[in-house]
Amino acid sequence: MIALTEIRVLNLVGAGDPALPRHLSAASGLVCCGAFIYVVADDELHLGVFNAADRAPGRLIRLFDGALPADKAARKKQKPDLEAIAQLPPFGDYDRGALLALGSGSKRNRGRGALLGLDALGAIDGAPTIIDLVPLFDDLDRRFPALNIEGAVAVGNELRLLQRAIRRHPQNAIIRYPLPAILDALATGAAIEAMAPTSIDLIDLGTIDGVPLSFTDAASLPGGGMVFTAVAEDTEDTYNDGVCLGAAIGVIAGDGTMQMLDRLDGCPKVEGVAARVESDGLRLLLVSDADDPTIPASLYATTLPNRLLGDMAIRSA
């Protein structure tokens, strides 16, 4: 079992607008850039920004226009379902790189993304550009019976999207695209058109009490590998929430071999992960989805020691 240490809850400063939340509750993706921690939440129109150096309340950056209803059922129906966020290398006019937040694609209205430029310190630079992901997701929808993109990560020359398993369709998938083609599309327009993946790797992570462990996020590692989070959520489809029966962290090497997969102590529904290589292993930050709008999401930390990483420890040290 892997133990997590809670670092803080994801509280937000008051923005003078009573319609805006005072915390993020459904944290679903995580990227660390310089001194900043960026968190997407699947029930918000905003990006959460937190300072890595302290526990001060974070703030919101608006990604999409409009407002979401407070009622949970109505909010679920209308939300953009931002489930993933990836840090991209420099390209086009984004000479310091950018962040790409993506909807899950599980419904037609969940096919938007937002592109945000970064400055030299890792801070957001400029207004977001809205990205139409529907053409790309329409192609994937024909390949998967229940499309649900839960993670995105740039690794080397690839953009990898993580398809999440459910009870009726228990296989996860790593969908690989050529990163230069994705960056060219982002540099020249506000849409990513349909393109064929270079490969689709089906991944079986096992089950907990008959419920498949399913991808929720990933972060890149040296040598083309990645660390990922997974949860066993007892639901039959991509729309309704279910009870979290357990969670896990795994590491996949650059050649696609599973280096480790271990359960988390307790049942935190971890949905975002960021990784930093240190001398004694991988230092991870993780965020959780409380599945309750009244409960703040939490930021956790843990270290995966080198002894758990197999060959990855040799390449990362």
* pLDDT band at 70; cut points 50, 70, 90: confident
Domain extent for 209: 83-316
pLDDT computed for residue 217 by the predictor: 98
Q: In this predicted model, what pLDDT tens digit does every residue of 190-232 receive, in sequence order? A: 899 999 999 999 999 999 999 999 999 999 999 999 999 999 9
In a domain, 22, yes or no: no
Specify the range with the lowest mean pLDDT, choosing from 151-155, 156-160, 256-260, 291-295: 291-295
Mapped onto helix, strand or coil, the DSSP state of residue 256 is coil
Q: In this predicted model, what pLDDT tens digit does every residue of 296-312 receive, in sequence order? A: 999 999 999 887 776 66
Cα separation, 274 vs 95, whole angstroms: 22
Is 314 a residue whose pLDDT tops 50?
no
φ, ψ at 120 (rounded to 5°): -65, -20
Q: Which two tokens stand for residue 193?
A: 């058109």
Mapped onto helix, strand or coil, the DSSP state of residue 241 is coil
In a domain, 44, yes or no: no
Q: In this predicted model, what pLDDT tens digit does every residue of 104-156 receive, in sequence order? A: 999 989 999 999 999 999 999 999 999 999 999 999 999 999 999 999 999 99
Q: Which of 193, 248, 201, 249 is nearest to 226 (CA)?
A: 249
Cα separation, 241 vs 166, whole angstroms: 11
Neighbours of 51 (CB within 10 A): 13
Cα separation, 101 vs 187, whole angstroms: 15
Q: How many domains does the chain have?
A: 1
β-bridge pairing 258-263 and 243-252:
antiparallel
pLDDT computed for residue 242 by the predictor: 80
- The answer to whether the beta carbons of residues 6 and 46 sit under 8 Å apart is no
CATH number of the domain residue 268 falls in:
2.120.10
pLDDT computed for residue 163 by the predictor: 97
In a domain, 285, yes or no: yes
In a domain, 211, yes or no: yes
Own/partner pairs, 117-122, CB within 8 angstroms, 24+ separation? 117/93, 118/33, 118/87, 118/94, 120/96, 121/34, 121/35, 122/33, 122/34, 122/35, 122/36
Contacts of 142 (CB under 8 A, 6+ apart): none
In a domain, 266, yes or no: yes
First CA to last CA distance, the chain: 23
Q: In this predicted model, what pLDDT tens digit does every residue of 30-46 receive, in sequence order? A: 999 999 999 999 999 99
In a domain, 308, yes or no: yes
Neighbours of 293 (CB within 10 A): 16
Q: Which of 272, 294, 296 is nearest to 285 (CA)?
A: 272
In a domain, 52, yes or no: no
In a domain, 163, yes or no: yes
Q: Which of 79, 51, 47, 42 is nearest to 60 (CA)?
A: 47
> What does each C-alpha distance from 109 to 178, 247, 311 come to in angstroms?
25, 28, 42
Q: Which two tokens stand for residue 237?
A: 């489809």
